[in-house]
Structure 1
Amino acid sequence: MAEDDSRASVVPVLVLRKITQILRSFSVDQPELTLQQIIRTTGLPASTCQRLVRNLVVEGFLDREDDHYRIGLDFVQWAAPGTFGLDLVRLTRPALQALRDRTGETACLYVRHGPFRTVVSLAESRHPVIRLFVVGMVMPLHAGSAGKVLLAWDPTARQEAVRHGLGRFTDHTVVDIDELTDQLAAIRRAGFSASFEERDAGAASISAPVFGLNGELVAALGIGAPLQRVSPADVERLAPIVMELARDASRRIGFRADAPFAVRSATEL
């Protein structure tokens, strides 16, 4: 009887191991994969991999668009620490849409997981030419305004990013830790971050922090656009709007400016 119980407990563990292999095949460099790519990366039998991937889509662990798969929104929300899951997305949605409407550009909400940031919600620009963002998109922290916001208000994020390595994506990517530290201090003083061509050529973004109930950093809210529509000359006009809507998002999830964590962070960071 004991042997039967032991054998029965092994089967679910083996299935979980295969699921873990599938999920780990996605990375910041390859956020979207075809089924054949997943099969090659995991080394799983094609029929087994196809069945598990199909089930992961049904359960929300993976999202599918045409022949490509990516990490699902449900999984991102469960995995990201410091968030309120679906409540975070639902409660901040009005601020996200208002940011899109007032700036005309795609607005995104990002949360951090380890040394990466992930888009958990977006309101897409109505311009015919846009920067492409999708829910579940994974990006580095040190390249781009939203990632730098998460770094600027979260010392743990800085430690994880440095430990993972500051990879170069363009000629404008900051890979020197001292230069990055100076930038983060300036971002905290300004209350927002603006970046140009740090992760992709021809891309621009402006982001600001979203704080939770106790004043802890929860997310970054920002806009992303082609450089021809958002240049350094537009920051003075757009940054106040981004900060205003990030404050609105914070209020919607219960942030209080006198929260102990908020006061401590302002003086210690």
Structure 2
Amino acid sequence: MSTKQSAGAAPILVLHKVARILDCFSVEEPEPSLQQLIQKTGLPASTCQRLAQNMVREGFLDRDGDRYRIGIGLVRWATPGTVGLDFVRLVRPILQELRDDTGETACFYIRDGAFRTVVAVAETRHVVMRPFMVGQVMPIHAGAPGKIFLAYDPEAWDALQGAPLTKFAPATPDSLNTLQAQAAAAHDQGYYAAFGERHEDVGSISAPVFDHAGRLAGVLGLGFPTQRVGPDRVPGLGTAVAQAAAEASNALGHVP
């Protein structure tokens, strides 16, 4: 084998090992430990640890203690228009505090066309839960976060024109008139709650986050199973979500 061929082979082997590490992440196991990465990849412990450290450094992964998750770098490259790493770092502690205060999963979303993408998550510690993952993509017409985008981002309506309003559940809005009324309600109260729009057993409450220029930067909210949270808890949780969103806006330099 020539020297030129050998030089080209090494990067390919490294990429193959990186791919094996990334294959360890799934909806069922979004935050494997280093030992789990070693076991699943079959790589030598020192090799796996070194690669994982480099992947954290480059934004492929994030690390929290001994747990790893898909990094915002990969989300940024895969999802046009998403926000940067520093932005998510500012919002993540607020999500964690909201999760701790309410007990439910807290998420931050950005919009890409007629879809919304989760870019940061603080997951509930309850055993009964619905999984939300960084990189998860959902349509904006179903669920509370979409109503906030439609209430505060005119371009969201442009993206929705011609997009299919898929009926996921009986409560899914399937007309622009219904969405306009929901968006108006979201704007009036500063947050919005939805139940059973994307999945019959899932609810959500969301509020807007603004940047230093007063533009909608994203949507912050809670997701939960409806068997644990019903409409009677909306006033309390809605206030908590709106306060957390205001705190996130303040962290981004927004002055009301």
The normalised TM-score by structure 2 is 0.71
CA distance in 2, matches of 1:250, 1:80: 22
Structure 1 position 181, deviation (Å): 0.6
In structure 2, what residue type is equivalent to 1:99?
L
Q: SS in structure 1 opposite 2:155?
A: helix
Deviations 1:56-106 (A, max 9, x none): xx676799xxxxxxx9632433544373x1111101122111110111000
Per the TM alignment, residue 166 of structure 1 is displaced from its structure 2 partner at its CA by 1.3
Q: In structure 2, what is the equivalent of residue 189 of structure 1?
A: 188
Structure 2 unaligned blocks of 5 or more? 1-25, 28-54, 63-69
The offset of 1:138, in angstroms, is 0.4
Q: Which amino acid aligns with 1:110?
A: Y
Q: Secondary structure at the match of 2:161?
A: helix
- Read off the aligned partner of 1:174 and give its amino acid letter: P
**Structure 1, residues 143-169: CA drift from partner, whole Å, max 9, x if none?**
001121112111111221232221111
Q: Gapped runs of 5+ residues in structure 1?
A: 1-30, 33-57, 64-70, 258-269
1:254 corresponds to: 253
Give the corresponding residue for 1:154: 153
Q: Matched residue of 1:164: which SS?
A: coil
Matches within 5 A, 1:1-269: 73-78=72-77, 79-81=79-81, 83=83, 85-257=84-256
| Structure 1 position 212, deviation (Å) | 0.4
Offset, 1:221: 0.4
Preserved CA contact (<8 Å) 1:116 1:138: yes
- 1:80 and 1:98 map into 2 onto residues whose CA distance is 28
Q: For residues 133 and 146 of structure 1, what CA distance do their matches in structure 2 show?
A: 13
Deviations 1:162-183 (A, max 9, x none): 3222111111000111111111
Paired amino acid for 2:81: P
Name the CA shift for 1:82/1:203 in 2 (closer, same or farther; >3 Å).
closer
- The 8 Å contact of residues 111 and 219 in structure 1, kept in 2 or not, is answered as yes
TM-score by length of 1: 0.68
What SS does structure 1 have at the residue aligned with 2:224?
strand
Determine the C-alpha separation between the residues in 1 that align with 2:82 and 2:217: 6
2:162 alignment partner, SS class: helix
Deviations 1:163-218 (A, max 9, x none): 22211111100011111111101110010010000001110110000000100001
Give the aligned residue type for 1:243.
A
Equivalent pair of 1:100/1:106 in contact (CA under 8 Å): yes
In structure 2, how many angstroms separate the alpha carbons of the residues matched to 1:182 and 1:142? 12
Whether contact under 8 Å (1:80, 1:112) holds in the other structure is: no
SS of 2:204 mapped into structure 1: strand
Deviations 1:213-268 (A, max 9, x none): 100001100010000111111101110000000000110111111xxxxxxxxxxx
